Structure 1
Amino acid sequence: MIENVNALYAAFKAKDARFDGRFFVGISSTGIYCRPVCRAKQPKAENCTFYRTAAEAEQAGYRPCLLCRPELAPGASVTDATADLICRAARMLEENCGNGLSLEEIAGRLGCSSRHLRRVFTAEYNVSPVQYLQTCRLLLAKNLLTDTDLPILEVAMAAGFQSLRRFNDLFRKRYRLSPTALRKHAAEGKKRNDNMILALGYRPPYRWEEMLAFLAERAIAGIETVKNGEYARTVHLAGADGKRVRGWVKIGHKPEKNALSVAISESLLPVLPQVLARVRHLFDLHCSPDAVYDILQGMNDIRPGLCRPGIRVPGCFDAFETAVRAVLGQQITVKAAGTLAARIVERYGSPVQAGFKGLTHIFPLPEDLLALGGDIAKHFGALGVTSARANTIYMLAHAFAQGKIDFGLCADPKKEMRKLMMIRGIGGWTAQYIAMRTMGWPDAFLETDSGVKKALPGRTAKELRVMAQAWRPWRSYATMNLWNTLQEERDVL
């Protein structure tokens, strides 16, 4: 893609949002680099150099544009890298830029050596993983300096810098501007507020209402709320020192900016990169909707309106919570499963003061449920959960606590699904649903799902599976399109 300079300049000139985050433009006449959607005066083609990542542009000596703000660009999707390994490595670096995770540890999670990761990453992005990590930290700090009133020391620590001096030195070297000067520039003509609100960009279109409807229908009382076009939830995460922190996040939509607004409690500063990474995953912000629609638009030949551009696959914020919710939802209605989950939260969740109506608890940790021991069926039975599902949840908690199954974005979904199905009570539907939501697997297809069958009536599960072959590798998005048509029919009725 980067070699096709004429096509990239045309996309830059057209301000084509489909390419936002997929390349950056270094402008030699100004010394800055921009997103392809930047609204500044169009530079001449001979002054433009194109880079695959912000890190590569910074290594070439360019500093980020203060108008289009490269730190707000959506991240790489799986269609943007020649190898899925590299894409997942980039996401891991973004998520862990604040907790000091070493390259060896990241490579270990990806199932390769640090030497191999360094070689393929540099070959793809023209920067080393360490250089990419530095840019992740600097751009996160720039985002915090621009959009919050946090003290500069707290900004440096939240972005993963071990000392204020190191932060100041690298910031001045890369951006030719001190953190204080940047904040002063950003504050000009801008109304400040007491909340910590950041923005996360996406590639349009984004069907926000469909995403909210899905989350609202499955929201667990006490943990999540969907009100006034916003999603809010409680959060508990472990920091780099192992200490758990609690807080809340609230996400809204800013369609005029192709971004989501993310309000975060200050208690979550020690785990800020993790929080932002989980929000990106939950709302599928890495998606390239044009690439998905190119493959799935054939669904409209079956029935007009079956596939719409901009559909996202909801991820998850807490993998254990989502997995338990999936088990509870087996062979019962979505509403009934939500009722059972709310009872478990009320009985075994930890109370928390979130400051929002409806947010009262933290979801139980795997260790909390393991503490119930062999009596879990008795305890859960009093809440209306069958003994079979209670025992499945107990074994699932064991898998989480012992790390036997990888539920992260670096997982091999097919391998981990096989492990999941070794747990009594977890079959193909549940394993695929968990992989789709927790591991970000884009190619799940639930041919035995009642909603899928209802959306495509008159076909057997085998016929549906054969039909869905044409929708690979985006069958998860096809599933969401099918479910959404059912929601639309209910709304009409």
Structure 2
Amino acid sequence: MSSEPETLQPDACYLALKARDARFDGSFFTGVTSTGIYCRPVCRVRTPKRENCRFFGHAAQAESAGFRPCLRCRPELAPHAPRWSIQDASDMLAQQAAQLLDEPEAWHDAPPSVELLARRLGVSDRHLRRIFEASLGVSPLQYLQTRRLLTAKQLLADTDLPITQLALVSGFASVRRFNAAFLQHYGLSPGQLRREGGRAGEAVVRLGYRPPYDVQAMLAFFGKRCVAGIEFVGERELGRTLALEAGGQVHAGWLVATFDEERHQVELRTSDTLRQVLPLVIRRVRALLDLDADPLAIGSVLHASFPDSDGLRVPGTTSGYELAVRAVLGQQITVAAARTLAQRLLQRFGTPLDTPWPSLTHLFPPAQVLAAAEGDALGQLGIVRQRQAAIVAIARAVAEGRLQLHPGADVAATLQVLQALPGIGPWTAQYIAMRALRWPDAFPAGDVALHKALGVQGSRQAARDAETASQAWKPWRSYAVIRAWARLSPPTQPVATA
């Protein structure tokens, strides 16, 4: 068995394990030498003796050391542990590589490989392997293999997808390779982990997160912007429609995410039509609700400036394209006015969809549809000419593949492409980067509400003053923006439109 990575503090990890502290869920895993099993810190089994514990920063490290995942706490449910740094360039490269491996949309239906990954990052594959192994303790292929196996394990436990189909959607090239890898790593055949998953007409999976999490603030944010027909927000849940393209095929359906605060989990239900792209749906929902955020790391930088906001997360999106269009609609007008324009756009260009939810009746207009929209048609909805041009430009760029709006996209390149489009300035580009690209250090310095929250609204150089103040919050300025905005309005209950 390998020893613990130097970045972990074994004694501190053991204390967190004894306390079953959910704040560290996914930040490390415990391999128990007496059983050969590795667990999450929140596992409810009897705490093992200290001398029998080995600690790992990633599930891939534990599996590489010969440990098998616990069937009780299920490591695949743990939130991911993205680590952002502004210090060591090698660590940044390794973490960027890991993020790309975690993002299915970053590969455009091509299977990821070390050669393609190195090319994306502008380094040699040999250098990438060396840096990746030095930083994360495993090779890129071992990391990717663990991610695929844990994804398959979750789908085996929570859905009734046929094993043949499940192997393919988890990223394996063939069922034979899937069966062999599963047996080699876990000592079990896939069928031995099969549970009765899902309900009639839908799939159900659980997604973990680290507390604290201000559920009501997140739901209030979405509730205030809720567009009937494509989404609804309730007391503990939100639902929406979505369409995903994978393998040249469009999969349309609905999802409902319900918070289980006691267990620090989200129960995700999806329509049967989305089962074939469940891993992609799960990634999008994790981004939508910011389930992989690390409150301890963020709070260590922001708590002094925003002491009452440790539970706030950055709201994301299930569609970067939709978010970009709605961001344009919201330029220089109120949230309520932007919601009205989005409602009109949906009614005019949206695609009808049959669902069991009265509030979910349409899909957001596809990029190909808005790309072909005539100015008069958009103008009749009350959208001014400048924003008409911006919406059409975004839709065309997305439809033609020139603009990628997902967490695996290159931030600097995407910001450059966005700001080259008509009607897209720094504020809109940064807002899209914050919510669609999941960039934790986005900062719309020109935002008027942000100026008010930071007390620089009377300055002749308010944007520059805000930018200067923000330097202390790197690399978590997106979270600082959300916390600053929260200062401007008292806590509110979400709008119930279901």
TM-score by length of 1: 0.90
- Report the residue type matching 2:490 in the other structure: E
Residue 26 of structure 2 aligns with which residue? 21
Residue of structure 2 equivalent to 1:286: 292
The Cα shift of 1:384 comes to 0.7
In structure 2, how many angstroms separate the alpha carbons of the residues matched to 1:30 and 1:367? 54
Q: What is aligned with 1:260?
A: 266
Query: 1:488: Cα distance to partner?
Result: 1.6
Residues 332-365 of structure 1, C-alpha deviation per residue, up to 9 Å, x if partnerless? 1111111111211221222211221121222222
Query: Does 1:243 pair with 2:244?
Result: no
Indicate conservation of the 8 Å contact 2:22/2:211, yes or no.
yes
What does 1:79-98 correspond to in 2, within 5 Å?
A: 79=84, 83-96=91-104
User: Mean Cα displacement is larger for which, 407-416 or 289-298?
Assistant: 407-416
Q: Which runs of 5+ in 1 are unaligned?
A: none
8 Å contact kept, 1:110–1:411: no
- Secondary structure of the structure 1 residue equivalent to 2:243: strand
Does the aligned pair in 2 maintain the 1:279–1:317 contact within 8 Å? yes
Deviations 1:433-455 (A, max 9, x none): 11111111112233432322343
State the identity as a percent: 47
- Indicate the SS of the match to 1:130: helix
Deviation at 1:412, TM superposition (A): 4.1
Residue identity opposite 1:365 in structure 2: P
Question: SS of the counterpart of 1:257?
Answer: coil
1:60-79 equivalent positions in 2, closer than 5 A: 60-79=65-84
Unaligned runs of 5+ residues in structure 2 are 494-498
The 3-state SS of whatever aligns with 2:305 is helix
The answer to whether the 8 A contact 1:252-1:261 is kept is: yes
C-alpha distance in 2, partners of 1:440/1:256? 26
Q: Report whether the alignment pairs 1:45 with 2:46.
A: no
Q: How far does residue 109 in structure 1 lie from its aligned partner after superposition? A: 4.1
- Which of residues 87, 103, 125 is equivalent to 2:136? 125
Change (3 A) 1:203 1:111: farther
1:342 alignment partner in structure 2: 343
1:371, CA displacement in angstroms?
2.1
**Alpha-carbon deviation of 1:204?**
0.9
> Could you say what secondary structure the match of 1:83 adopts?
helix
Once residues 367 and 111 of structure 1 are traced to their aligned partners in structure 2, the CA distance between those partners, rounded to angstroms, is 32
Q: 3-state SS of the aligned residue for 1:298?
A: coil
Which of 373, 380, 388 is 2:386 aligned to?
A: 388
* Partner in structure 2 of residue 441 of structure 1: 439
Q: After alignment, is 43-52 or 8-17 more displaced?
A: 8-17
Equivalent AA in structure 1 for residue 345 of structure 2: I
Q: Cα distance, 1:102 vs. partner?
A: 2.6
Q: 8 Å contact 1:73–1:202 — kept in the other structure?
A: yes
Q: 1:226 aligns with which of 218, 224, 233?
A: 233
Mapped partners of 1:256, 1:489: distance in 2: 21
Specify whether residues 166 and 419 from structure 1 end up closer, same or farther in structure 2 by C-alpha distance, changes over 3 A only: closer
Deviation per CA, 1:374-409, whole angstroms, max 9, x where unpaired? xx2211001111111101111222322333344332
Aligned with residue 470 of structure 1, among 444, 465, 472: 472
User: What letter is aligned with 2:232?
Assistant: T
CA distance 1:163–1:414, shift in 2 (3 Å): closer
List per-residue Cα deviations over 1:293-314 (Å, max 9, x = no partner): 12112224xxxx6x41121111
Q: Distance in 2 between matches of 1:209 and 1:259?
A: 15
The C-alpha deviation readout for 1:80-139, integer Å capped at 9, x for no partner, is 896333334323323339955231444444454444433322222222222222211211
* Residue of 5, 26, 51 corresponding to 1:2: 5
Aligned partner of 1:34 in structure 2 is 39
Question: Any idea what SS the aligned residue of 1:299 has?
Answer: coil
Bigger shift: 39-48 or 26-35? 39-48
Q: How many Å apart are 1:415 and its aligned residue?
A: 4.1
User: What is aligned with 2:496?
Assistant: none
